Amino acid sequence: MKRIVVLVSGEGSNLQALIDACQQGRINAEITAVFSNKSAAYGLERARLADIAAHALDVKAYEDRAAFDVALADAIDEYQPDLVVLAGYMRILTADFVQRFAGRMINIHPSLLPKYPGLHTHRQAIENQDTEHGTSVHFVTEQLDGGPVILQAKVPVFSDDSEDDLVARVQTQEHNIYPLVVSWFVEGRLSLKNDRALLDNNPLPVQGYAAD
């Protein structure tokens, strides 16, 4: 059975979606560990409740970002993961870390990439009066939120939406598509080659699978 390690910084709702999918057999893999840069992250409690090893690394215990990422990568490697999943992990990764897990690390970002990389995506969508917003699952590369897109899901933006309204609508879609993409990877259907995402050996378009 394939092995997954998940990185979180906060609530871990996408982690929970992945835990549920593994328990229900929708993902034929085991989440072997969850790591966080924040000891109070509720995602760690979700892991403990599911009998998954939960670890927090204190950023202040390391000299710099590079030293932290080396320690984190070494700790992850102890679990020999086939896939590293970023689920609301809010630290920018060093190039060495990304290269170490290249082709087997994915992230979910709350926008229709390449639109709105970085933070506060929902707020930007509302302020710019966008009529649609969404979420993207992508391979992680050295470019922030810039790796090849695998799958996107779109949601409408209504004129009276609050940021919380939009967050909830996007998260519903995230909880659907992230387990699906993880299942593609562990089944051997999904890969990264020459900076392109491939599904069943077919290159995916820029906006990912089944883009409109």
- The question of whether 109 is a catalytic residue gets the answer yes
**Of the candidates 103, 82, 80, the residue with the CA atom closest to the CA atom of residue 27:** 82
CA distances from 97 to 71, 73, 120, 143, 177 (A): 10, 7, 25, 13, 25
Q: CA angle, corner 33, sides to 29 and 37, nearest 5?
A: 135
Q: Which residues, in sequence order, are CB contacts of 167 under 8 Å at separation 6+?
A: 110, 122
**Of the candidates 188, 133, 192, the residue with the CA atom closest to the CA atom of residue 163:** 133
In the set 55, 109, 120, 138, the catalytic residue is 109
In this structure, the chain runs to a length of 212
- Which residues carry out catalysis? 109
